[in-house]
Amino acid sequence: MPLKTKMSASLLALAFALPVQASEIWVSNEKDDTLSVIDIDTLEVVRMIEVGERPRGITFNSDYTRLYICASDSDAVQVMDPETGEILHDLPSGEDPEQFVLHPDDRHLWIANEDDAVTTVVDVETRKVVTQINVGIEPEGMAVSPDGKTVITTSETTNMAHWIDTGTHEIYANTLVDARPRHAEFVKDGSELWVSSEIGGTITVFDTTDQSEIGKIHFEIQGVHPDLIQPVGFELTPDHKTAFVALGPSNHVAVVNTETLAVEEYILVGRRVWHMAFSPDHSQLFTTNGVSGDVTVIDVASRKPVKTIKVGRFPWGAAMRP
């Protein structure tokens, strides 16, 4: 056999031998103490992994070799090897960690401790608490600016977004938002901060240079009582032009024009939708529907729901792994 043919034959054999790693969406199931892993190609759950009690926020590190899980009732952040699904160790997280954000340095986790009204900073390498910062009551939403200089904690009861300097670990600004802020995100390359208020039913948009309010997004769905319209998680398309906002028990996801802050469309999904994650090419969006225990897949281009996939009980957070 000529060398070239032999080589291509061996390469072919190698290609068949290596399992092709399909992109996945990882979902935390709050009531099942499990994670469901959805294969993006087949849109089916391919793995269920047991984790600590009441997993909520989940996030991968930058090279997707580690998964961090807020195991709220275990009072720990668990570190998992996503290849094997094995829990490697726990990080000290303070009590009742609900959401967190991984600093762009890939080393510091900023964790909201709902019961203690503090934000805990943990070094994931030394596995030690670096500091704890007092914030408002019931902190939940966490966001970090793309330059890593500012971290936001939102407190659900104080109704504030706290702007924390990551260098000094000091709060340098507090901004009021509507009732029960649950999620925050820096958008448009860090020029704006969006904070969703669950009870207020709005998203407040801030200019990050002077923390001033630029505008507010309001929602209204025909035939749905305003009390049920509770924005929580949101995601922006890579061109920053469109935002998808999960509206909780209204069972809809709003499509928002980020320039005009007007809602363009509402998409029907499962019951009590909270968080979302895009597929790697941003062509699909996966929403976690807590009460109906499933994940709805939205086709981003047509803005239509295409499939709903059963996962564990009360899916909460979602994270993409390419």
Residue 141 or 293 having the CB closest to another protein: 293
- Per CB under 8 A, the list member of 2, 19, 223, 238 interacting with another protein is 223
* 11 exposure class (CB count in 10 Å sphere: 0-12, 13-18, 19+): exposed
Site for another protein contains 252 (CB under 8 A): yes
- Per CB under 8 A, the list member of 224, 237, 261, 303 interacting with another protein is 224
Beta bridge pairs of residue 246? 253
Nearest to 120 by CA among 135, 107, 106, 105: 135
Site for another protein contains 305 (CB under 8 A): yes
Residue 199 or 268 having the CB closest to another protein: 268
User: Closest approach of Cβ 309 to another protein, in Å?
Assistant: 9
Give one word for 282, left, alpha or beta, with left for phi > 0 and alpha for psi -120 to 50.
left
Site for another protein contains 296 (CB under 8 A): yes
Rounded CA separation 59/87 (Å)? 14
Q: Where are the alpha helices (DSSP H) in the chain?
A: 3-17
User: Closest approach of Cβ 27 to another protein, in Å?
Assistant: 16
Residue 59 or 288 having the CB closest to another protein: 288
What are the tokens at 167? 């260098």
- Per CB under 8 A, the list member of 44, 176, 306, 322 interacting with another protein is 306
User: Closest approach of Cβ 141 to another protein, in Å?
Assistant: 24
What are the tokens at 43? 């849109």
What are the tokens at 38? 């959805």
Residue 115 or 299 having the CB closest to another protein: 299
Q: Are 317 and 72 in contact (CB under 8 A)?
A: no
User: Closest approach of Cβ 253 to another protein, in Å?
Assistant: 11
Residue 127 or 307 having the CB closest to another protein: 307
- Per CB under 8 A, the list member of 197, 202, 251, 288 interacting with another protein is 251
Site for another protein contains 303 (CB under 8 A): no
**Which amino acid type is present at position 65?**
T
- Quick one: which segment of 44-52, 87-95, 184-192, 306-314 binds another protein (CB under 8 A)? 306-314
**Could you count the other beta carbons within 10 Å of the beta carbon of residue 300?**
18
Q: Are 154 and 161 in contact (CB under 8 A)?
A: yes
Rounded CA separation 213/178 (Å)? 12
Nearest to 139 by CA among 171, 168, 182: 182
Site for another protein contains 301 (CB under 8 A): no
Residues 6+ apart with CB under 8 A from 108: 102, 121, 122, 123, 124, 130, 166
- Quick one: which segment of 59-67, 69-77, 96-104, 304-312 binds another protein (CB under 8 A)? 304-312
- Per CB under 8 A, the list member of 21, 84, 126, 222 interacting with another protein is 222
Residue 176 or 306 having the CB closest to another protein: 306
Residue 143 or 245 having the CB closest to another protein: 245
Q: Are 273 and 285 in contact (CB under 8 A)?
A: no
Site for another protein contains 308 (CB under 8 A): yes
- Quick one: which segment of 51-59, 159-167, 256-264, 292-300 binds another protein (CB under 8 A)? 292-300
Site for another protein contains 291 (CB under 8 A): no
Q: What share of the chain is helix, strand, coil (3-state, %, to 5)?
A: 5, 55, 40
Residue 43 or 137 having the CB closest to another protein: 43
Binding residues vs another protein (CB under 8 A): 221-224, 228, 249-252, 268-271, 292, 296-297, 305-308
